[in-house]
Structure 1
Amino acid sequence: MSADILIRDDVLPAVRSVGTYTYDQIDRVFLRERIEQFKDQVARRISGELTEDEFKPLRLMNGLYLQLHAYMLRVAVPYGTLTARQVRALARIAREFDRGYGHFTTRQNIQFNWIRLEDTPAALEVLAEADMHAIQTSGNCIRNVTSDEFAGASADELLDPRVHAEILRQWSTLHPEFTFLPRKFKIAISGSPQDRVAARFHDIGLIARPDVNGRPLFEVFVGGGLGRTPIVGTKLRDDLPEEDLVAYLEAILRVYNEFGRRDNIYKARIKILVQALGADEFRQRVDTEFVAMDRARYRLEPALVQAIRNRFGVPAFEPEGNASALLMEMRQKDRAFDAWVRTNTHAHRAPGYISVVVSLKPAGGIPGDATSDQLDMLANLAERFSFSELRVTHLQNVVLGHVRQDRLYEVWQALSEAGMGTANIGFITDIVACPGLDYCALANARAIPIAQKLSSRFADLELQREIGSLRINISGCINACGHHHAAHIGILGVDKRGEEAFQLTLGGSGEEDASIGQILGPAMSEDDAVDAVARLVDFYLVRRNDEERFLDAYRRLGTAAFKDVVYAPA
């Protein structure tokens, strides 16, 4: 696949909104044809002409899973960016075809857990009308490429990764050579020195930065992952030039596709291949493939990259004026507002603007869930305050990327009235959790109830501020969809003699100091696990140095000290 067919800028219509890539007519015709094809396949399944085994690979190609109680439709949100129009389409699907809500995932996608099979084609048509789809959200292919939720807005950003995320989306979608990989494959890309995408826990993780001439370079990590065998990725390259990005990733995928194991589902990931070959041999095989390629066909010329960059548009930022002063004035007048600003905003590159993180983690709530009414409200806020654009985070929250500082108080009031003004981003109740045994047939235990109990246990915002930065992630099984290995406190649901039980891990991190959480000890009941987390937090508050984070205190004091808090006899 040559670079010149990656970017079809000559047939694209004018940009309708800022921050999202506009589909062209080729994309739209393809989606319509895919829906008609799937409509026929659904009819044949309902009539009995297709068995479930025959239908399974067909539905997975369209993002449709059969879960514990019903079908689930997973919708792709490329690099986590949505227009207000697209969010309204999601709200419509939740309202008309589901039970009134959707669930945002750690892959920046959204899932609908109660879709009826016969309604699926109609739901896909609603998506297509908004230039959305569910393709490659399942199956052994390259999944949704994820990116930094503050891309193109953050003050600390070195390079906007959305442009290259879009290039990778186009390159990977229905790639004929990589449609049937040994296992699913996940790519993440960030343009900030702070890793906000867990790059080191992906099959391929990319950290972008400019060279001395301002041209992009990429740090390339490969073979990271969680699940049954958690591994921090290996750095393959430190200075991959932009022009070779697609060619080099193609070389990595070819090596994996050729040598990755297909005889054992548990050993079929690229992380296992990298470990089996060793980093040096894997790098050598990739380099050999890379050198042998006709790289001219894959080269990303500056003009091609600029064509994609232009399709994102540039927000019409207003002059700063007295926006910052007005924000400070409102913060001084309202302590609750000030506390929310401290936790739920992120510094913007444009003077007078700020990014807002909307928490989907109210006290006692289900992490990542948003009702149809809340989705509509978020779309309204995006139109009024953020150039009609929203972002989804891999931590199951959403972001209004470009808000005027002097309008921030209006945003907060609207969110608070809708029950979405919780000031807890980065705190102990900003919990990440998979759907668990409430929905998933693979799970051993429910993740949602223990998340709700922990959220309620630590609901007091003053206590959360005293605890400071502390990440809890929960998975209902060893597949680790809740990324528990990458949390300061991870919770894994296990089957203990037919009963749900929970195992604690400590010391994980998904950021630039990536580490894998270590198992603390034997699994325990749900209520005992909640009590154990409370004892760990109390111990940390007593033993920490000054403003030391929980993670840093754990690393300093060691596992044994924390283990005694949970398991030592009273």
Structure 2
Amino acid sequence: MTDTIKRPTRTTATGAWADGDRTPLNGNERFKQEDDALNVRRRIIDVYAKEGFAAIPGDDLRGRMRWMGLYTQRKEGIDGGQTATLAPEELDAEYFMMRVRSDGGILSTEQLRTIGQISTDFARDTADISDRQNIQMHWIRIEDVPTIWERLEAVGLHTLEACGDAPRVLLGSPVAGIDAEEIVDGTPAIEEIRRRFIGSPEFSNLPRKFKTAISGSPKLDVVHEINDVSFVGVVHPDLGPGFDVWVGGGLSTNPIFARRLGAFVTLEQVPDVWAGVIGIFRDYGYRRLRNRARLKFLMADLGPVRFREILETEYLGHALPDGPEPVLPEGVRRDHVGVHAQRDGKVWVGAAPIAGRVSGTVLRGVADLAERHGSHRVRLTPHQKLLVLDIDPADADAVAAALLAYDLDARPSEFRRNVLACTGIEYCKLALTETKERARTVVVQLERRRPDFDVPLGIHVNGCPNACARTQVGDIGLKGMVHRTDDGDLEEVFQVHLGGGLGATPSVARKTRALKVAADDLPDYIERVTGHYLEQRATGESFAAWAHRAEEDDLR
């Protein structure tokens, strides 16, 4: 779509507040307008935790409580064939997923231990590292939520706006402030946005969720291409280090990469520019249809030229200078896995769990391990990985070995290193298929079958079309589905997407015609398709590049 200087003429009501009509056009807009979702916190503490699950009305249970980091959990025993047919109350278990907010993936060992203890005390020892740099727990009872919040807040953590139509956790470089190659440390901007705006009624009612990324790493390590707004480190030839601004990225059923505004922003300006971008989304965003309410659709209509004009004239009150575009060399790893030198002479040790699956026991063990080696800082990454910072180089091998005992591998295979998986049918009410254990099975099988495979290969396992594990930008993206076999049995299958990627050459994966693989056949399929790649690749050719040129038969 070409850029335009005139705002598109509306042929139907979009629900955008900037159009002058705040009439709620769907149920979500109604409950948000009736009562600010931030107010549900007091009802949870004073009423629901005392009276129990049955006392929670639907608009709070499946609506406003998301702003407190709480989603109702999927009832056990409901297969994927019923996901789209049962009423919400039939899918609800009387337990919650709780998402703990950790902006920038920043955690102290005390905070990590606290989350781990909460997991073992209240969440059946469950814990997953998400690709949004936070930790999710399951089996949370409403009666326990106030106590959990007290424990979190005692160490400076909370769950506020970890979900909901609000500014979600802010992604940041997990090696901010310690990487010797860093252009600029974005942590002060993350902290200032969190201080000024998270939990503020100013931005607690957005058309949909709003995802942010801020990183001064030259490795572009926060998947800036698929966030609503990203600030990416660059060096201006006259103004020095700062950020390039990208707006309007997102995946789900309509993958769209973010667009550059072409504007240069200093570290000090980031919070105000962030507020301007989210303000445009709040006021101009489409509220009529939920499936069109993300910022990416507004950006697609306005284009970056008009969007920047609105930002500068209506929200900032001044123009921003033009700036350079970030450059990422081919072949750069973005996940920080392994042992790497810090600028202070220490090292960090980055380790990979399989698809982010850990436990409260593991988190407490990692906290103890880090402290035994003099570290009090850990980081979570946008790739479901965990880093232990501030390790003496002489201790790096010992730390890596100890992490491996917790199934956290600092020298992982390519399969283990690059696999992502969403929550899946185990807990998620939207899912059609199982994901976490499926990812583990695939990784373990491929490590045995192809032990010498040494090419980066991202396998992204999603339980539904919503792409929480980034289906369309994995080398092999697997979208969960179900169908009936000839015998009438329900079978989990995965639609295959091939050749997606971010970084130097971002691309949306190729959806191969009518290619679906039964869940149990995934190891065989991936072994086969990677074999075709190894046989046919040109020198230095990536799997993604090969997948886009390969014949259909070689992708099956």
Alignment partner of 1:520 out of 505, 512, 515: 512
1:82 aligned to which of 104, 107, 111: 107
2:360 alignment counterpart: 372
Deviation at 1:130, TM superposition (A): 1.4
Q: Deviations over 1:256-303 (max 9, x none)?
A: 2122111100000000111122333223222322453799xxxxxxxx
Q: Deviations for 1:88-126, whole angstroms, at most 9, x for unmatched residues?
A: 101111111011131111111111111112112111111
CA RMSD of aligned residues (A): 2.6
Aligned to 2:370: 382
Indicate whether 1:347 and 2:340 are aligned.
Answer: yes
Alignment counterpart, residue 486 of structure 1, candidates 443, 451, 473: 473
Verify: 1:549 aligned to 2:537, yes or no.
Answer: no
Q: State yes or no: 1:356 paired with 2:349.
A: yes
Shift of 1:87: 0.8
The reply to whether residue 142 of structure 1 matches residue 131 of structure 2 is no
Counterpart AA for 1:137: A
* Pair 258,425 (structure 1): closer, same or farther in 2 beyond 3 Å: farther
Of the three residues 479, 503, 527, the one matched with 1:511 is: 503
For residues 498 and 57 of structure 2, what CA distance do their matches in structure 1 show? 45
**Segment drifting more, 158-167 vs 97-106:** 158-167
Distance 2:100 2:251 in 1: 22
* SS of equivalent to 2:465: coil
Residue aligning to 1:204: 229
Maintained 8 Å contact 1:76/1:132: yes
Which residue of 63, 66, 71 maps to 2:69?
63
After alignment, is 529-538 or 419-428 more displaced? Answer: 419-428
Match of 1:437 in 2: 425
In structure 2, what residue type is equivalent to 1:540?
Answer: Y
1:360/1:96 CA distance change after superposition, 3 Å: same
| Equivalent position to 2:46, from 25, 40, 52 | 40
1:393-404 matches, cutoff 5 A? 393-404=381-392
1:65 offset after TM fit, Å? 0.8
2:524 is aligned to 531
Displacement after TM superposition at 1:414 (Å): 1.9
Alignment CA distance shift 1:550-1:52 (3 Å): same
Find the partner of 1:185 among 193, 210, 219: 210
CA–CA distance in structure 2, aligned partners of residues 144 and 163 of structure 1: 15
Q: Is contact 2:178–2:344 with CA below 8 Å preserved after alignment?
A: no
Taking a change above 3 Å as real, the CA distance of residues 51 and 506 of structure 1, as seen in their structure-2 partners, is same
Matches within 5 A, 1:19-418: 38-43=44-49, 46=52, 49-69=55-75, 70-211=95-236, 215-292=240-317, 344-350=337-343, 352-361=345-354, 367-385=355-373, 387-418=375-406
Residue 464 of structure 1 deviates from its aligned partner by: 4.7
Q: How far did residue 132 of structure 1 move? A: 0.8
Consecutive unaligned residues of structure 1, counting only runs of 5 or more, are 1-32, 296-341, 362-366
Contact 1:35 1:121 in 2 (8 A): no
Mark the CA change 1:390 to 1:283 in structure 2 (over 3 Å): closer, same or farther: same
Which residue does 2:458 correspond to in 1? Answer: 471
Q: How far apart, in 2, do the equivalents of 1:344 and 1:244 lie?
A: 31
What is the TM-score of this pair, normalised by structure 2? 0.80
> Structure 1's 45 and 267: CA in aligned 2 closer, same or farther, altered over 3 A?
farther
CA distance in 2, matches of 1:419, 1:174: 36
State which drifts further: 210-219 or 370-379: 210-219
Structure 1 counterpart of 2:442? 454
SS of the equivalent of 1:490 reads strand
8 Å CA contact 1:86, 1:132 repeated in 2: yes
Q: Distance between the aligned counterparts of 1:45 and 1:388, measured in 2? A: 39
Greater shift after overlay, 519-528 or 173-182?
519-528
Decide whether aligned partners of structure 1 residues 158 and 385 sit closer, same or farther in structure 2, where only a CA change above 3 A counts. Answer: farther
Aligned-partner Cα distance in 1 for 2:244–2:431:
35
Task: Say if 2:350 and 2:410, in contact at 8 Å, map to a contact too.
Answer: no
Give the letter for the 2:68 counterpart: N
2:275 match: secondary structure: helix
Structure 1 residues 451 and 47, CA, compared in 2 at 3 Å: closer, same or farther? closer
- Cα distance between partner residues in 2 of 1:122 and 1:352: 40
3-state SS of 2:306 partner: helix
Cα gap change, 1:346 to 1:168, in 2 (>3 Å)? farther
Partners in 1 of 2:376 and 2:336 — Cα distance?
A: 23
Q: Decide whether the 8 Å contact of 1:391 with 1:401 is kept in 2.
A: yes
- Report Cα offsets for 1:104-161 as digits up to 9, x if no partner: 1111111111111211211111111211110011110100001112222223211112
What's the CA shift for 1:50?
A: 4.2
Contact 1:60-1:139 at 8 Å conserved across structures: yes
Question: Matches of 2:401 and 2:433 in 1, distance apart?
Answer: 37
Q: Work out whether residues 491 and 504 of structure 1, in 8 Å CA contact, stay in contact via their aligned partners in 2.
A: yes
Shift of 1:350: 2.5
| In structure 2, C-alpha distance between the alignment counterparts of 1:187 and 1:235, rounded to whole Å | 14
TM-score, with length taken from structure 1: 0.78
User: Take 1:68 and 1:204, find their aligned partners in 2: how far apart are those partners?
Assistant: 31
How many equivalent pairs are there? 479
Cα deviations by residue, 1:170-213 (Å, 9 ceiling, x for unpaired) = 23312322110000000011112211110011000110234457
Amino acid at match of 1:372: G
Which structure has more helix as a fraction of its residues?
A: 1
Kept in 2, the 8 Å contact 1:346–1:356? The answer is yes
8 A contact 2:483–2:491 mirrored in 1: yes
Kindly indicate whether the alpha-carbon contact (under 8 Å) linking 1:467 and 1:537 is maintained by their aligned counterparts in 2. Answer: no
Q: Is the 8 A contact 1:94 1:100 kept in 2?
A: yes
Contact 1:424-1:464 at 8 Å conserved across structures:
no
1:113 is paired with a residue whose SS is strand
Q: Aligned partners of 2:319, 2:303: CA distance in 1, in Å? A: 27
How far, CA to CA, are the matches of 1:566 and 1:103 in structure 2? 32
C-alpha contact (below 8 Å) 1:63/1:134 kept by paired residues: yes
- Cα distance in 2 for residues equivalent to 1:242 and 1:286: 17
* CA displacement, residues 319-350 of structure 1 (integer Å, 9 cap, x when unaligned): xxxxxxxxxxxxxxxxxxxxxxx994253243
Residues in 2 aligned to 1:132 and 1:45: alpha-carbon distance in whole angstroms = 26
Tell me the SS of whatever aligns to 1:458.
helix
> How far did residue 86 of structure 1 move?
0.5
Q: Partner letter of residue 39 of structure 1?
A: I
**Counterparts in 2 of 1:425 and 1:224: CA distance versus 1, 3 Å:** farther
Aligned in 2, Cα 1:213/1:143: closer, same or farther, shift over 3 Å?
Answer: same
Alignment check: 8 A CA contact 2:352 2:416 kept: no
Whether the 8 Å contact between 1:433 and 1:475 is mirrored in structure 2 is: yes
Would the alpha carbon gap of residues 134 and 345 (structure 1) be closer, same or farther in structure 2, given more than 3 Å must change?
Answer: same
The 1:526/1:427 distance shift into structure 2, 3 A limit, reads closer
Write the letter of the residue equivalent to 2:267: E
What residue in structure 1 maps to residue 90 of structure 2?
none
Partners of 1:369 and 1:194 in 2: CA distance:
25
